[in-house]
Amino acid sequence: MTRSLILTGLALWAGATLLLSQLRWIARPRLVDRLRPYSPGRHNGSGPALSATTFGEVIGPLAAGVGASVARLTGRDDDLAQRLERTHSPVDPAEFRVRQLAWAASGVAVSVLVTLAVHPPALLLVASVPAGALAGYAWAESRLTGACRDWDRRRTLELPVLAEQLAMLSAAGFSLGAALSRVASRGRGACAMDLARVCGRIRQGLSEPDALREWASIARSPAVERLVAVLCLSGETGDLGRLLSEEARSIRRQVQRQAVETMDRRAQQVWIPVTVAALIPGVVLLAVPFMQALRLFASG
């Protein structure tokens, strides 16, 4: 009993010391923390040595390396930074990889808990760990892929209106830079956000054709590439408005063809449950006389 009381007292003393050391009015600041504001090139804040930011900085390279390896294994050759920039995500690649690693850890924990609850063989328990990790990584990748697909659809639907607006402004005497800036400042869609980024790159010193080509490389959309190819002709032609109007009609026809294909595909999918619903009763009705005929042959 005495030994137990001594061990309990030591554990309580250690725990109370660790808890009280986090209080600013008890703990004495370390020498490193006191000298950090005067160190050149260092962060001047007085945050704790271990925080969410420092943990993300430490785990970020590991998460980025693991995520890149998994992406290569799954055949994903698209740049993560471009995909995040394509969706105007405020998350940088390192933060996305850290979140992806957290999803993978959650998948591992869930898979292990499920397998322990059902008491499977040891081999299945071991296989559930990589399966849960891959499921977590795949979940994060699928969310990003779905976001990229949604933004691509929004761009495709907004491009005809954007091309017509640029055509009207060009016919009214606006230069290409002024037309892009006006559409970017007044629009609220995906293309307006893209043009705002293009205008920002132009203000940073990039030329208008280079900024537009950068937009096309990030968007990776055939419609955007064709529109950018027409916009890059602004310095070589005096009839940019007519070319943009023709391109707007071409993009609108492409969107119409895609809508018709989608409707045809959905119309064909409607017949699948109808066919199955009609096939099952037919099979049952044919099976009844067939079984009766077999009984007659067997009895005769």
Residue 82 pLDDT = 85
pLDDT at 72 over 80: no
Lowest pLDDT segment from 19-23, 49-53, 86-90, 258-262:
49-53
Q: pLDDT digit string (tens) for 156-205?
A: 888 888 888 888 888 888 888 888 899 988 888 888 999 999 999 999 88
* Spans of all domains in the chain: 57-150, 152-255
Share of the chain above pLDDT 90, in %: 5
- Region 152-255: CATH code: 1.20.81
pLDDT at 24 over 80: no
Q: How far apart are the two ends of the chain, measured CA to CA in Å?
A: 90
Residue 46 pLDDT = 45
What is the C-alpha separation between 97 and 61, in angstroms, rounded?
A: 9
What is the C-alpha separation between 213 and 156, in angstroms, rounded?
A: 17
Question: Strand, helix or coil at 245?
Answer: helix
Where residue 43 falls (left for φ over 0; alpha for ψ -120 to 50; beta otherwise) is beta
Amino acid identity, position 68: A
Question: What is the chain's alpha carbon radius of gyration, rounded to the nearest angstrom?
Answer: 31
Q: pLDDT digit string (tens) for 45-61?
A: 444 444 445 555 667 67
pLDDT at 129 over 80: no
pLDDT at 102 over 80: yes
Residue 121 pLDDT = 75
What is the C-alpha separation between 257 and 102, in angstroms, rounded?
A: 42
pLDDT at 274 over 50: yes
Residue 198 pLDDT = 92
Q: pLDDT digit string (tens) for 277-293?
A: 778 777 777 787 878 78
Residue 52 pLDDT = 47
| CA-to-CA separations, 230 to 73, 151, 216, 233, 241, in angstroms, rounded | 38, 22, 12, 5, 10
Q: What is the mean pLDDT of residues 264-281?
A: 80
Residue 48 pLDDT = 47
Amino acid identity, position 183: V
Lowest pLDDT segment from 66-70, 114-118, 161-165:
66-70
Residues in the chain, how many? 300
Neighbours of 167 (CB within 10 A): 21
